[in-house]
Structure 1
């Protein structure tokens, strides 16, 4: 008698979130291209999904950071972690700016366009200039301090949520038995919130479909050809930075950047579909913990990186700034380019966390470097939406890598868990109280 075949336990291919999101993106592109009016009308689907995820970001950050720091306990350990995190951010953010500068000089995507700045519509970028003037470094630092403790969790600011979580976690670690009881309660609460994250991720294909249909319907695939050299240069430069620069760092840390990308494929497709790296932030934090990174490291590095480790945005800033200069016939000396680099290092932090931050930080940089006409931003305003996906993807990968590297530096990385996660092996059943199918 033949034995009954054993169930493999493998899920159908179409049930995986990354397959659903990819299908939704393709469907959105087709709808936006062939029925642009319908695509534009679907904008609320993408906006609604992003709002759903942002609703949960502050509580997830607060619970992850507060419980992680309370578990560490020592202020000295927290200080060391902070120093290592910001040293990593400063190095790679500056390196990204330099890479963008070098590529712009070598490729010169704007050379030969001979645009007269007087013929450009300066009014089209006036709103971004206004926001750039408001986004000073001092204002940014003051904005980290919330109006009230509770408002940090209700107003949607990642850094405010991080700030109060650090304070709460430090206080919790010095409150004895009462603190231990609160810590246990918060750890149980975090299980519930990550279950909510898993529930919300089921709506990711709908959000990606609506956002992509709107983008293609509103701006049209044809607009990509107008400034194709700049778009191609930016995408290829970002790809080089991820594979070569970040890939080398990953290799030094003992793993492959390609394995990390494969592990985060669902989140990366979600970022691609929505043009928002925040949409995948809670899921990223959960996956990094499952990959062996200590909760305290994930809680510190990832939320902070969303404001201070923007590799894709930094590449875009120097590359686009030199493109505008080349297109308008402005010859920047080495001193001018160094000044541009230094200004970009500051302005990229001052406008962090603002909607449309990439374009706003670029406007802020050009405002301080008067030799390049700010009106030249009108040249790339129409295609900025198509480059925001690449910025978000590069930023996302950079922050995921940063968390793993800093965890390794802190001896807070479970190498076996990392190898299992990156090789696609299932984690032991007892490793996580919450299972999600957002893989």
Structure 2
């Protein structure tokens, strides 16, 4: 059962915490040799996490392509596609401004950086985080794939979305002649969802390895050093969750509580692995069971992974102003609003970039005369912060998918939240009979 897999993931999380802290307490005597040993041990444990994430990356490109093309084909006309796309982008922009603005308000209220009093570093100092590649012209041209094979090989989700939209629209325009291709793509969806089931059985081991590696190398002390900043940020995430779910309640009513129950497994996977990609396949299945038509989820979710990173957004303003506070740099409100708008624009190119939030922050800090080397203050705990913001990204995209489905004619009847892990996932609502035959 899916419920059993969630239980195993929690067990993996708890065992990873215990073993990681035990290894750190046993081997860490404060010497460079001990630190090297712990880093080596963490590297061995990280093998499990790396293998799991590679398995996820293996299925992401064909899964996004197949589900998106199938969903567009089911829409039946390009006007519906344009309407869904416009509503999705409008929601994403609103959610991004909300997240950035909330981060700005809360960091000014809580002031977690005040009192740290870091000395201003030399002008030439930097945090060692690459900042190249964040310009509007590069981002716009990068959206269009030069090669679909290259886009799939590198898991460029936004490029795969663009190509899939072209394929789906062309299938709709061709009509009856393209039906054999549609049936083949529906079959590919069923196969990829079955592979997803196989891959997800490895999730508890991956979670155990990820947590063990992190705590073994860094210990609990790294959390205590910046506990107030971490606590303030997680409080901000809780408030953002409440706002997002509250807005969702306005549109879909009491079913918003059920939505949280349906997405708990992908949410837990995202939190423990700090990877949105790891949660993507299960998110598609969870939203389908909840009642979001696959034609909506398969289109909105990939777009959300590029444009609707609510957790990353709130982190950018929170962390940027925290660093300014730590250096004792006073930033006027007008400049803070300008920073918010600057982050709003520059963050739209971060999908698929490792530690993307840090890269954007590193690019933005010098613009507003904040020392870039201040990033070193939060690098040590960034993994723990990334866990929270990744889970928040999942919640934001789940709410967006449900609301847009409501706008597009309503949610389908819900299926049971817990399904057999070994079973073939239920075919999308409204899928052709051929899809159901393949799934059976």
TM-score normalised by structure 1 residue count: 0.89
Residues 1:431 and 1:60: Cα distance change in structure 2 (over 3 Å): closer
**Which deviates the most, 147-156 or 299-308?**
147-156
CA contact (8 A) 2:244 2:399 kept: no
- Does 1:333 find its partner at 2:322? no
The residue aligned with 1:388 is: 386
In structure 2, relative to structure 1, the CA distance for the partners of 1:216 and 1:70 (3 Å cut) is same
- The answer to whether the 8 A contact 2:121-2:371 is kept is no
**CA shift in 2, pair 1:257/1:327, >3 Å:** farther
| Residues in 1 aligned to 2:329 and 2:425: alpha-carbon distance in whole angstroms | 62
Q: 1:138 Cα deviation (Å)? A: 2.3
> Equivalent residue for 2:266?
267
Q: Rate the CA distance shift 1:278–1:167 in 2: closer, same or farther, 3 A.
A: same
**Helix, strand or coil at the partner of 1:134:** coil
Give the aligned partner of residue 203 of structure 2: 204
RMSD: 2.3
Aligned to 1:90: 93
Give the corresponding residue for 2:57: 54
The answer as to 2:104 corresponding to 1:101 is yes
Report deviation, 1:328.
0.2
Structure 1 contact 194–434 (Cα < 8 Å) conserved: no
Q: Deviations over 1:157-195 (max 9, x none)?
A: 111111111110011111132211110111112111110
Q: Aligned equivalents of 2:419 and 2:67: distance in 1?
A: 25
1:24 aligns with 2:23: no
- From the superposition, tell whether residues 291 and 358 of structure 1 become closer, same or farther in structure 2 (CA, over 3 Å): same
Does 1:34 pair with 2:22? yes
Deviates more, 1:141-150 or 1:176-185: 141-150
Alpha-carbon distance in 1 for matches of 2:340, 2:416: 38
Structure 2 stretches of 5 or more lacking a match? 25-37, 428-435
Change (3 A) 1:226 1:138: same
Report the more deviating stretch, 266-275 or 52-61.
266-275
Tell me the CA shift for residue 66 of structure 1: 0.5
SS in 2 for 1:316: helix
Checking the alignment, whether the CA contact within 8 Å between 1:158 and 1:303 is kept in structure 2 is yes
CA shift, 1:425, in A, is: 9.5
Q: What pairs up with 1:289-304 in 2 under 5 angstroms? A: 289-304=288-303
Offset at residue 431 of structure 1 (A): 5.3
Q: Deviations over 1:380-420 (max 9, x none)?
A: 11111110000100001100111010011111521x22xx5
Q: Distance in 2 between matches of 1:34 and 1:316?
A: 31
Q: CA 1:434 to 1:28, structure 2 compared with 1: closer, same or farther past 3 Å? A: farther
Secondary structure at the counterpart of residue 156 of structure 1: coil
Number of the residue aligned with 1:7? none
Query: Contact 1:103–1:237 at 8 Å: present in 2 too?
Result: yes
Q: State the match for 2:371 in structure 1.
A: 373
- Of the three residues 399, 405, 408, the one matched with 1:407 is 405
Aligned to 2:84: 81
Q: Residue 421 of structure 1: CA displacement?
A: 4.7
What is the CA-CA distance between 1:329 and the residue it aligns to?
0.6
Residue in 2 that maps onto 1:135: 134
* Cα drift, residue 33 of structure 1: 1.1
Aligned pair count?
413
- Work out the CA distance in 2 between the residues paired with 1:421 and 1:392: 26
Counterpart CA distance in 1 for 2:111 and 2:335 is 16
* 2:251 is equivalent to residue 243 of structure 1: no
Shift, 1:113, TM fit: 1.4
Residues 118-142 of structure 1: CA deviation (Å, up to 9, x unaligned): 289934x22x1x2x23222322222
**Contact 2:251–2:403 (8 Å) recurs in 1:** no
